[in-house]
Amino acid sequence: MSTQNRARSGTVPSMETSHDELKDNTIVIVFGASGDLAKKKTYPALFGLFKNGLLPKDVHIVGYARTKMDEAEYHKRTTSYLKNPDNDPEVSAKIEEFKKLSTYISGGYEDAPSFQNLNRHLESIEKNYQRKEYNRVFYLALPPSVFVPVSKHVRENCYAQSGVNRIIIEKPFGSDLDSCRDLLSNVKQSWTEDETFRIDHYLGKEMVKNLLVLRFANVALGNNWDKNSISNVQITFKEPFGTEGRGGYFDEFGIIRDVLQNHLLQVLSILTMERPVSFASEDIRNEKVKVLRAIPPIERKDTVLGQYVGANGKPGYLDDDSVPKDSVCPTFAATVLWIHNERWEGVPFVLKAGKALNEAKVEVRVQFKDVTQGIFKDISRNELVIRIQPSEAVYLKMNTKSPGLNFRAVPTEMDLTYKRRFSDLKVPEAYESLILDAFKGDHSNFVRDDELDVAWKIFTPILHWIDGKDGSRPRPSPYPYGSRGPKELDQFIASYGYRRATEDYSWPTTNTSNL
């Protein structure tokens, strides 16, 4: 086999797009350039792409925000989170180059003259381009309250008349079904679905993207991927810190809107969808929508809510000065979703997320059914675990004979830990991957409008209950800062068929002297 053919072996066909890839004459306009999201995520992602030569040729970045600051202050802010821990002179030189291709304009978000001033600045940059077709990518690193006026003013005052225009919108996309529909309809008055890229950054994470390959490129998994083999599935998000002075924002949305309704539901849709006919973006998104439509609204009995309290020297949620003292906003939630289709009927999907827990972790845990009883008794179940972050990994927990003279089955794992197996590769940041997809015009890892609609249908009833729109608000169970969550959690999960591993099992190593 030739070197060229070996390089192609296993290649996934390129995802089809209906757009042109932006290769030159492109300006990226970052709205909210002075905010935390832009500083911590957007600009580091743009720099990562620039450093690796993946931005369009002669690209220019324009920051826009209400904050009045000179260019020196702007560059200081936008490069404050760029990583160069070893003070590599090449990286330092790239940072200086990155500064030179970025300028700043201040202005309002709701008045036409501010956007007309921005357009004049864009035109002054475009005069230096050789071709007469100019591309503009508008990135809204903004709160949702200004999505509609900004998208409207950009379309009316800053839309390139020749070339490609794209708009990237960050979550949250509304707070319930009605607000989502209102937001979608207003943005659609200015922008087509083809021009719109709605970011859920979990869709850019390496292990979430890997789900497509794990599921559809492995016959060994595919034949067992249904209700006949799988007992239950857990999708878990854990943070070891609380709101830390940002409780005012969090209290408005809560953990379900912040994590479950978007991030974890996106993971679930890829995990459970049917095989797409191709890797074209619309074929993938069609299958995601199909499976989401088979999920009825969550019921109250399938939900556990919690709120962390002070422990281990750490303050409780209500101790945060930015949080209302009588708040019953959940900082932890576990909900069970059911998929009413032939593949998944009867399998519980438990989505769990919480703040101020015992560790930082996002993972998918697929627990298979028991081995037929007879020659084995109380044997551990097989589990496929996909660790999304940190320390990306895939491992299959299986039973094997304990080494030595004893004949005993013990749980161990087939372990693919990325840092060990792919030691020479850098896993890209999710935002780098997604922004690059937007330049390519690839919608595969962005959220479509009908996908949002059906996602909100699933969660809106339970959110209205929590918000007190359907009677009195439920009071979340307290759980100590640094714990695994509310005390009801273990019994709740067990009631849906989950069996915890034996006490002497731990991943990633097994000490046989304890067996």
Residue 459's SS3 state is helix
Q: What is the pLDDT of residues 114-157, one digit of tens each?
A: 999 999 999 999 998 877 788 999 999 998 889 999 999 999 99
Strands 477-480 and 332-338: unpaired
State yes or no: pLDDT of 360 exceeds 90. Answer: yes
Catalytic-labelled residue, pool 60, 121, 153, 263: 263
Q: What is the pLDDT of residues 285-339, one digit of tens each?
A: 999 999 999 999 999 999 999 999 999 899 999 999 999 999 999 999 999 999 9
Burial track 18-41 (b if 16+ CB lie within 10 A, e otherwise)? ebeebeebbbbbbbbbbbebbbeb
Res 403: pLDDT: 85
State yes or no: pLDDT of 506 exceeds 70. Answer: no
Q: What is the pLDDT of residues 413-424, one digit of tens each?
A: 888 887 778 877
Quick check: is 263 catalytic? yes
pLDDT > 90: percent of the chain: 65
Going along the chain from its start, the domains and CATH numbers come out as 26-170 (3.40.50.720), 203-496 (3.30.360.10)
* Weakest mean pLDDT among 344-348, 361-365, 394-398, 446-450: 394-398
Mean pLDDT to the nearest integer, 169-187: 91
Measured CA distances, 401 to 264, 362, 471 (Å): 36, 30, 56
State yes or no: pLDDT of 507 exceeds 90. Answer: no
Q: What is the pLDDT of residues 216-261, one digit of tens each?
A: 988 888 888 999 999 999 999 999 999 987 788 889 889 999 999 9
State yes or no: pLDDT of 511 exceeds 50. Answer: no
State yes or no: pLDDT of 349 exceeds 50. Answer: yes
Length of the chain: 515
DSSP letter string, 335-376: EEEE--STTTTT-EEEEEEESSBSS-EEEEEEEEPPPPSSS-
Res 23: pLDDT: 84
State yes or no: pLDDT of 28 exceeds 80. Answer: yes
Q: What is the pLDDT of residues 134-146, one digit of tens each?
A: 899 999 999 888 9
Res 502: pLDDT: 60
Strands 230-238 and 135-140: unpaired
Average pLDDT, the chain: 89
Residue 56's SS3 state is coil
State yes or no: pLDDT of 36 exceeds 80. Answer: yes
pTM of the predicted structure, to 2 decimals: 0.90
Residues whose CB is less than 8 angstroms from the CB of residue 98 and which lie 6 or more positions away in sequence, other chains included: 46, 47, 50, 51, 79, 82
CB neighbourhood size of 272 (10 A): 25
